[in-house]
Amino acid sequence: MTTLTQTKERFSASAGSAVASLRDGRGAFDILPTPNLEWSPEVEAATAHLYERVAKVIPPVEWPFHAPYIKAINDLKRVRDAVILAHNYQTPEIYHCVADYVGDSLQLAKLAAASPAKVIVQGGVHFMAETSKILSPEKTVLIPDLEAGCSLAASITGADIRALRREYPGVPIVAYVNTSAEVKAEVDICCTSSNALKIVESLGSDRVIMTPDRYLAENVAAQTKVKIIAWRGACEVHERFTAEELESYRADHPGVKIIAHPECPREVVEASDFAGSTAAMIDYVRTKKPARVLLVTECSMADNVAAETTGTEFIRPCNFCPHMKRITLPKILDSLVHMREEVKVDPLLAARARVSVQRMIDAG
């Protein structure tokens, strides 16, 4: 068995240069040399079992470009005592080949808190990395690209929540986890797409303010007697789907099961056979095994599910999230080599935000 020290020595030796140290006030981080990224028989042998996982969705000609990064990342994770948390929208070479944990927003939040690793590399967008940091303040949380944002998180600020409180005194405010730490710190409780209805009904109020996704709010409002007051944000990926588009897919692909994410407009959800979080959508395919399916969500998810599914034909409209796609294998490797970009949340703000996230977890 290779020890951490042996793996680290192998890294240093293979690049033939000294390991530098970066001081950040809490101790020393080694900046490791960038590993050799050439395609070789050794890399091919070390990654052959991983290629089997993605062979249905990554052509053989592309593998020599991914495999050296995959091997280097998997080696370096052990050196750093790091885990990679990947959202279901990450590309297959990340999702199936370097991620330690995959899931929807709620699952990733819980996994971040439960993992014993010292370092979390977030394969996802900034609010997800912040949520990891909020739940695990003692861990080093890295995001491979600081610009990986989210149209929902960008649509609302802490000052907006304070203004809502003045406008609707006493009405509980729920924030989707797709929000900044500043927003989470101001609200009463968080929710994700998998628990939004439950959270709203758990508050015992006849009126609830849901922020920031107007469509998630409309989709919850359709299932409850609670009066929902909605912020007007939207996911730039899901709001582009239309009911007409789905009807034309149904006409072209008889028998197709259409499953949608609740960030889609109400009429899109109504035109679908099922709606749920990304994890619930994956579960639908795994358990119901439809002969034909169309996932009305970010397009990498269909690749990830198709890679591990037999007997189902995937109809694939492709709306991709430009923020999720900022996370790539070279950037993940760079994160682990340089220990960047570190996501920091002011401890007092994090403590307040943690109350809202923890209330959500406890309610679930």
By CB under 6 A, name the binding residues for ligand 13P.
88, 104-106, 178, 192-193, 235, 263, 277-278
- Contact partner, 140, from ligand 13P, ligand SF4, none, Cβ < 5-8 Å per class: none
- Contact partner, 192, from ligand SF4, ligand 13P, none, Cβ < 5-8 Å per class: ligand 13P
Of the pair 67, 106, the CB lying nearest ligand 13P is at: 106
DSSP 225: S
Q: Which residues bind ligand SF4 (CB under 6 A)?
A: 125, 150-152, 178, 235-237, 263, 298, 321, 323-324
- Contact partner, 341, from ligand SF4, ligand 13P, none, Cβ < 5-8 Å per class: none
Of the pair 46, 363, the CB lying nearest ligand 13P is at: 363
Of the pair 47, 122, the CB lying nearest ligand 13P is at: 122
Smallest separation, CB 141 to ligand SF4 (Å): 17
What pairing do the DSSP bridges indicate for beta strands 20-23 and 28-31?
Answer: antiparallel
- Contact partner, 151, from ligand SF4, ligand 13P, none, Cβ < 5-8 Å per class: ligand SF4
Of the pair 67, 102, the CB lying nearest ligand SF4 is at: 102
Smallest separation, CB 10 to ligand SF4 (Å): 36
Residues 6+ apart with CB under 8 A from 329: 66, 69, 70, 73, 93, 94, 98
Q: Judge residue 295's burial from the number of C-beta atoms within 10 Å of its C-beta, 0-12 exposed, 13-18 middle, 19 or more buried.
A: buried
Helix and strand counts by DSSP (H, E) for the chain:
16, 14
- Contact partner, 335, from ligand 13P, ligand SF4, none, Cβ < 5-8 Å per class: none
Evaluated on CA atoms 35, 48, 51, 97, the torsion sign reads negative
Structure tokens at 188: 């009463």
Closest CA to 110 of 124, 89, 83, 131: 131
Q: Measured between alpha carbons, how far is residue 78 from residues 34, 42, 282 in Å?
A: 15, 19, 29
Of the pair 98, 177, the CB lying nearest ligand 13P is at: 177
Structure tokens at 287: 């358990």
